[in-house]
Each structure stands twice: as C-alpha cells, then as structure tokens.
Amino acid sequence: MVSPVRRTEAGRGLIPAVKGILAGVVLAVLLAACATSPYTGRQTLNLVPDSQLLSLSFDQYRQTISQATLSTDQSQVEMVRRVGRRIAAASEELMRERGQAKDIETYKWEFNLIKDDDQVNAWAMPGGKVAVYTGILPVAKDETGLAVVLGHEVAHAIAKHGNERLSQGLLAQLGGLALSAALSGYPAQTQNLFMTAYGAGAQLGFLLPYSRTHELEADRIGLILTARAGYDPREAIPFWERMAAQGGARPPEFLSTHPAGENRIRQIRELMPEALSYYRPR
C-alpha cells in the first residue's frame, strides 16, 4: 500500500513528464497546422480539415436560414445580393492574385437577408454563406455602406478565421485536459482552483485577443474588397462611427471580442491609403 505522502509525491513526479508530453504534442500540432496568411502575412493556425469545416458550415447555414424569417422586400433583397456578388467577385480576384486560386471552388456564395429589425448584425460562415439582418440596413444607409459590411464579413471567410477560431478552441481544450492530468496528484480543491484559473486565462489571454486580431484583419481585407468592388472605402469611417453610436455602454476592450470603436476607426484611417489604391469607381 502506498502512503498518502508517497502518492502525492508520485503524482507530483508525473507533472514534468506530462508537461513534456504536452509540449511535444503542441509543438507537433503547431508545426503541422501553422500557415501564413496570404493577405496580411500573419501566422495562422488551421487544425480542422476544410472538408469537415465546410460540411459543418453548410449544414448550419441551411438550418439557420430554414428557421429564420427571410425578408420579402425585393428591393432590399436584391441590393444585398447585388452587393454580395460584387464583393464575392472581388474576393475571388484577390484570392487568385495571392496564390489561393485553388480555394475559389470551395466557396459556394450565398447572400440572404433575414427580417429582424432588432439585430444590427451580419455574418459570414466558412465557404461563403452570408446572412444580413434588416436591422443593420439603416446603419449602412445605402449600397456603399452595405458593401463595407459585406466586405468585412467576406474577409473573415476568405481569411479562414472560422477555422482558426475553432482551432484555437481545440488547442485550449487540449491544454486544459493536459493540465487536468498534470494536477491529478493534488487534492480536488487545488485541481478545481487551477482549472478555473486556466479557463479564465485561456479566455481572456488567448481566445478573445485573437478575436480582436481577426476583426482588425477583416477590416483591412474588407476595405480592399470594398474598393475593388467599385465602392468608395472612405465610407467605412462614417459607417463604423454610426455602429459605435449604436453600441451604447460597452465593457472594456480587453473583455470584448471586438476592438473599441475609436481604435477601429483609427486603424481604418491608417489603412485608407492602401484601400484607395485599389478603388476604381463604377
């Protein structure tokens, strides 16, 4: 029979070994899945095969659209789809230029307008499935404002931010499971304390900052797409000012997945010369 002291010491002795295994697994995963974004040069992480991610995306989109109330305002619906087609075409041009032509066939573009005046929102899923809520149209004001919205959302899709967010979540779970094993020799109360701290650290220190990185990256790519589609990217500034005014009281930026309004607008101003170099009015 092993004494309680020896059991604890044995458990503690496992920690370096478990940490070594975890480090090896994480290193192998990162080396296999790290890539460089062709749009910004940022190192990215994609652990999930595109085929699996797209299947999940398309299924989820069909389910969401089937349960939603689609707008019957034909002029608004046609505007969303017209702008969407132009932004999609601009994104495919950009993909070709950046050596991503093989990815184009994986995008099955679809743009739907969901009737919900309380939702000031739009989103794009991996594979080019996009939804716009009627609540964002008054903020967009016109076709150019809508192009800013769709350029930003399509930028998320072509930059594969969905895969990266899912990969980050999987990696965080992997770390959590390994930490749980490493702490197996400690009392339950200590394990719970460490696991709680790990969860908070992963959320605030890892997942949310990357979300803000994605948002700012989508702003940059989205401005280029807006300009290449023939819409004036300078309209992004008043659009995001109107969006910031919609937000009201909000938590500090470090607790948010989106950059604070003033920071976003400042960066957009800095990026505007690059975007304008692509702008050719139609």
User: Where residue 98 sits, what CATH number does that domain have?
Assistant: 3.40.390.10
Cα(257)–Cα(69) distance, rounded to whole angstroms?
27
Q: What pLDDT is attached to residue 207?
A: 57
Q: What pLDDT is attached to residue 44?
A: 86
Residue type, 151: G
Is 35 domain-assigned?
no
Is 55 domain-assigned?
yes
Q: What pLDDT is attached to residue 252?
A: 58
Q: What pLDDT is attached to residue 11?
A: 45
Is 37 domain-assigned?
no
Is 226 domain-assigned?
yes
Give just the sign of the alpha carbon dihedral 185, 186, 188, 191: negative
| Number of folded domains that form the chain | 1
Q: What pLDDT is attached to residue 102?
A: 93
pLDDT mean for each 10 residues of the chain (282 residues): 42 47 47 72 83 86 94 98 98 95 95 96 92 96 98 94 80 63 60 56 60 90 98 97 76 62 91 97 89
Is 30 domain-assigned?
no
Q: What pLDDT is attached to residue 28?
A: 46
Is 261 domain-assigned?
yes
Domain that holds residue 238: 43-163+210-276
- pTM strictly above 0.85: no
Q: What angle do CA 189, 191, 193 make, to 5 degrees?
A: 70
Q: Which residues have a catalytic role annotated?
A: 153
Q: What pLDDT is attached to residue 14?
A: 44
E-state strands within 10-162: 34-36, 43-45, 110-114, 122-125, 129-133
Q: How far is CA 155 from CA 132, 160, 273, in A?
A: 15, 8, 18
Is 139:246 a contact under the CB 8 Å cutoff? Answer: yes
Is 60 domain-assigned?
yes
Q: What pLDDT is attached to residue 203?
A: 60
Is 71 domain-assigned?
yes
Q: What pLDDT is attached to residue 206?
A: 56
